[in-house]
Copies of this chain bind each other. A is one copy, B any other.
Amino acid sequence: MVGVALVPQLNEFGKAGAITTAENEFMYEKSIHILVMLLIGFGFLMVFVRKYGYSSITATYLIVALSIPLYMLIRPYLWGSASNLTIANISMLLFAEFAAASLLIAIGGILGRVNTSQYLLVGMLFTPVYALNEWLLFSGTLIPSGAFLDTAGSISIHAFGAYFSVDMISMLTTKKESEITIETSKRSNEFALLGSAALWVFWPSFCSALVSVDKIPLAAINTVLALCGATLATYVFSILIRGKVDVADIANASLAGGVAIGAVVANVEPGWSLLIGLVAGTISVVGYSKIQPRLQRLVGGIDTCGVHNLHGMPGVFGGLVALLLVASPMWQFAGVVVSVILSVLMGVIVGFIVSKLGRKETPYDDKDEFILPD
């Protein structure tokens, strides 16, 4: 070991904690699976914008590369070194990956309208707020420890990122931008489906990452069934509402089951998970087809990836389902409200700051910033 501490907080995290080998093994595995979800899942899902593929993937790389170390630096200031020591194992990586996931959701709404370096700025401002919200919900300081049920972050990861985004977009959409059609192509949509599939298959690891070892089989089966339910509902409602299937519905709304089941993934029986998934998929398709145009008019901005439909509404739905299961629904409701208020408020502020720093010349196009092949 090098004795000199280059970055003191970071240097704590590799030390062996008081967890078992089995726990570390499960967590190691899931930390890799979630990395797949971040870089390949979120990254390629955003490649659906035909001329903006390089930017989408590069932004994903940068956001992950920024937010993981940044979160690791911030967390000990909030949780204290005692807490730091008890998590001095691979769980720190999992927490940091969750922060990156929430940030990727947050930039999904403004995708294509700011410069790549501005995503980094959003990341620098978002990550501390995300960490603060997590600390408010789970540290026992504001809400009693264990009173807020959100095992896999329906509220604290998904809804938080989505509502942060929904408010940023009002600051980050010009009139000209809101009139541009976001172009897709077969190729770009097939890459998006690949990203979607990577999210689908590794979602059980996202949902069971912090679940105790004995509950992991339950959480994994619940997640798969919720995704199955959402996938079936997506297909049916996409045809019913649109006449033909929109493949963007399949790529996105199929995942809504994973978003919604997060809060209660270790607390319901599998039959209920299938039902939660069916409802979440339905909510999400209705969101993409019916609610999004109205919401965009309401907030005066474009939600490029439709994060409100995939992470916003299904996340809140999941957090509210937990109301039926917790000892004190008031605390559960309080946690949802705190998260939504904090994210909305900070989304506006961050959007405002970023909007003052110039804008992308050609929206939804790589050409300003990347060297392109002929």
Contact = CB atoms under 8 A, between A and B. Distances in A.
Interface in A210-227: 213-214, 216-218, 220-222, 224-225, 227
A247 B370 CA distance: 7
Interface string A85-120: 000011011000000000000000000000010000
Contacts of A369: 244-245
A14 B222 contact: yes
Nearest to A372: B186
A24 interface: yes
Interface stretch (A53-61, A129-137, A343-351): A53-61
The prevalent SS among residues of A at the interface is helix
For chain A, give the interface size range.
Answer: 35 or more
A10 B372 contact: no
A200 B39 contact: yes
Interface in A166-184: 183-184
A53 B186 contact: yes
A68 B277 CA distance: 14
Nearest to A213: B21
Interface string A280-293: 00000000000000
Given A228-B68, A369-B245, A7 B190 contact: no
Query: How many monomers of this protein are in the complex?
Result: 3
Q: Which of A8, A22, A58, A250 has the most CB of B within 10 A?
A: A58
Interface stretch (A28-36, A151-159, A295-303): A28-36
A18 interface: no
Interface of A: 1-2, 5-8, 10-11, 13-16, 21-22, 24-26, 28-29, 31-33, 35-36, 38-40, 43-44, 47, 50, 53-54, 57-58, 61-62, 64-66, 68-69, 72, 89-90, 92-93, 116, 183-187, 189-191, 193-194, 197-198, 200-202, 204-205, 213-214, 216-218, 220-222, 224-225, 227-229, 231-232, 235, 242, 244-247, 250, 254, 267-272, 274-275, 324-325, 369-373
